[in-house]
Amino acid sequence: MQRIKTDLCVIGAGSGGLSVAAGAVQMGARVVLIEGALMGGDCLNHGCVPSKALLAAGKAAAAHRRGFAGVAADEPALDFAAAGDHVARVIAAIAPHDSQERFEGLGVEVIRDWAEFTSPREVRAGKTLIRARRFVIATGARPLIPPIPGLDAVPCLTNETLFSLREPPGHLLIVGGGPIGLEMAQAHRRLGCKVTVIDGAAALGREDPEAAALVLARLRAEGVEIVEHAPIERIAGRAGAIEVQVAGGTVMMGTHLLMAVGRKPSLERLNLDAAGVRTDRGAVAVDDRLRSSNRRVYAIGDAAGRGQFTHVAGYQAGVVLRSLLFALPARARTDHIPRVTYTDPELAQIGLTETEAHRAHGAELTVLRQAFADNDRARAEGHDEGMLKLMVVRGRAVGVTIAGPGAGDLIAPWALVLANRLKLGAIAAAVLPYPTMGELSKRAAGAYFTPRLFDNALVKRVVRLVQTLVP
C-alpha cells in the first residue's frame, strides 16, 4: 500500500473539484486529486456541454423552418448521427482543459480510482492511502431513477446515455418536465423526433408561472406534447415499444424512454461514517462555510446539496479556497445565484421570483415589466415574444426573471448587481450601445425612477424655482 501525505485531498474531478485543485496547487499547496470516472465530471461528459451542443443543432434546424424576412422557410435535411458527432467533437475539444495531463502539469497528483474514507483523516484510493490536512468532497450527482412499478424491467435512457445515440428515437417519452427534460424535448423535436413530456406536477414548476408559460407555449407550438399533473402509475414494454401509464389509466406509447426527474449526490462509495461526516437529505450536511460535521472535510457542488449547477460548484470552490488556503471566514451565499433553462426561448432567474418576493417583502415590493416587443433590437430581429420582470425593494433588485432569446446572457448584469448588492441606479446610469438587447435591463431599471422624477410634485417645484431664479 502506497502512502501519501498532503495538504489537500480533492475527491471528484468535476468542475468544482478541478477548480479547487487548480487554485490550491497554483498558490503553493500540495494537492491530491482523486477521480474514479471521467475527468471533467458530469458537466463536460454528460450534462452542460453535450446538451448545449445538441440544442445548437436543433436551433439550426428551427431557423430553417422559421425562415425570415426575404428568406424562405424550408424543411432542413436532418442527420441525427451528424448532430451526435458534433456533440462528441465539442466534448473532445474541451476535454484537454480538464485532463489528467493538464493537472499533473500544474503539479497536482492525480489518482484515477474510487475514494473511500478509512478514518477522519485518511482516504484509500485503490492501492494508495492518502492522509491529508483537509479534504474536499466534490463527487457530483447521478441521475435519479424513481421507484416506478415496472421501470426496472424496461430499458431507459438518462443524461449519461442519451448522447451516445446515433439513430433518432421515433417517439421519445421524457419523464420529468424540468429544465433537463424540456431542453432535451425541444432539441429532439427539432431534430425530427416525436416527443412527449410527462410530469406529475406542473412543468417548470419552480419557475415564475408567467415566464414558464412562454417557454411551454413555444414547445407545444413546435409539436412537443407536454402532459402535466399526471403521476405515473406504471411503466411496461420493451425496447422500441414502451408504455407509460399515468393516473386515470391513460397510456402513452413510445420507442424510447428518458428519465429526467432529477439527480442525487454520488456519495455511496465514500464510506462517510468512517470519516464522521453526516448527511442530510442525501447530501453532505454542511454549514455556511461548506464544512461538514468533520471540520477537516468540506463539500461543494452537487455533493453539498445547495444547488445542482456547474457555476454554483465553481463559486463554492472559491469560498472553500479562501477558507483552506488563507484561513478566512468565507461563507457561501445563495441569494445571488442565477439559473437558466436553455430552451428557445431561454428562461433565466436570479434572486426571488415574483411570488417569492411578494411573500418576503409584501407592500414594500415594486414589480416592473419590460417587454421584448418594446426593444428596438428585438423588433429588428423578430424577437417580439419575451419579457423581463424586475422585483425591487427600496431601490435594490431582489429578483429578476427573463424569458426570451439570450436570457442567459441578459441575466449577467443582474448577477453583478445582486452579487455586489448594488443599487438599481448602477444599471439605470449605464450608457449602453444602441440598439442592443441589453437596453431591456436599463429601461426596466429606469422605469423604477420614472414616477419618482416625473410624477413628483416636489421635483416639479424645484425645477420651477430654478427656472425662476437662475438667469
Q: Is the pLDDT of residue 68 over 70?
A: yes
- Average pLDDT value for the chain: 95
Q: What percent of the chain has pLDDT over 90?
A: 93
| Nearest CA-CA partner of 241 in 226, 252, 227 | 252
Q: Tell me whether domains 2-143+264-326 and 345-454 share a fold.
A: no
CATH 3.30.70.270 fits 151-262, yes or no: no
348 close to 440: Cβ distance less than 8 angstroms: no
Q: Report the pLDDT value the prediction gives residue 470, as an integer from 0 to 100.
A: 78
User: ∠ CA(89), CA(103), CA(160), 5° rounding?
Assistant: 40
CATH number 1.20.1280.50 given to 2-143+264-326 = no
Which parts of 7-142 fold into alpha helices (H)?
Answer: 15-26, 41-45, 48-66, 80-94, 100-106
pLDDT digits (tens, 9 = 90+) for 434-448: 999 999 999 999 999
Mean pLDDT over 168-191 rounds to 98
Quick one: average pLDDT of 180-204?
A: 98
Q: How confident is the model at residue 338 (pLDDT cuts 50, 70, 90)?
A: very high
* pLDDT of the residue at 455: 67
Hey, CA dihedral for 48, 53, 54, 59, is it positive or negative? positive
Q: Where are the domains of the chain?
A: 2-143+264-326, 151-262, 345-454
Helices (H) and strands (E) in the chain, counts: 16, 23
Lowest-pLDDT range, 71-75, 83-87, 131-135, 355-359?
Answer: 71-75
> 293, 276 in Cβ contact below 8 A?
yes
Whether residue 282 has pLDDT greater than 80: yes
Q: Note the pLDDT of residue 120.
A: 97
The predicted model gives 422-434 an average pLDDT of 95
Q: Find the mean pLDDT for residues 340-352.
A: 98
Determine the distance from the C-alpha atom of residue 82 to the mean position of all C-alpha atoms in its chain, rounded to a whole number. Answer: 26
- Over the stretch 11-51, which tens digit does the pLDDT of each residue have? 999 999 999 999 999 999 999 999 999 999 999 999 999 99
pLDDT, tens digit, 9 for 90 and up, residues 79-119: 999 999 999 999 999 999 999 999 999 999 999 999 999 99
At 450, the pLDDT band (50, 70, 90 cuts) reads confident
**CATH number of this structure's domain 345-454:** 3.30.390.30
Is the model's pLDDT at 270 over the cut of 70?
yes
pLDDT at 313: 95
Q: Which of 25-34, 77-86, 149-158, 327-336 has the lowest mean pLDDT?
A: 327-336
Q: With 70 as the cut, is the pLDDT of residue 453 above it?
A: no
Residue 122 and residue 448: Cα distance in Å, rounded?
56
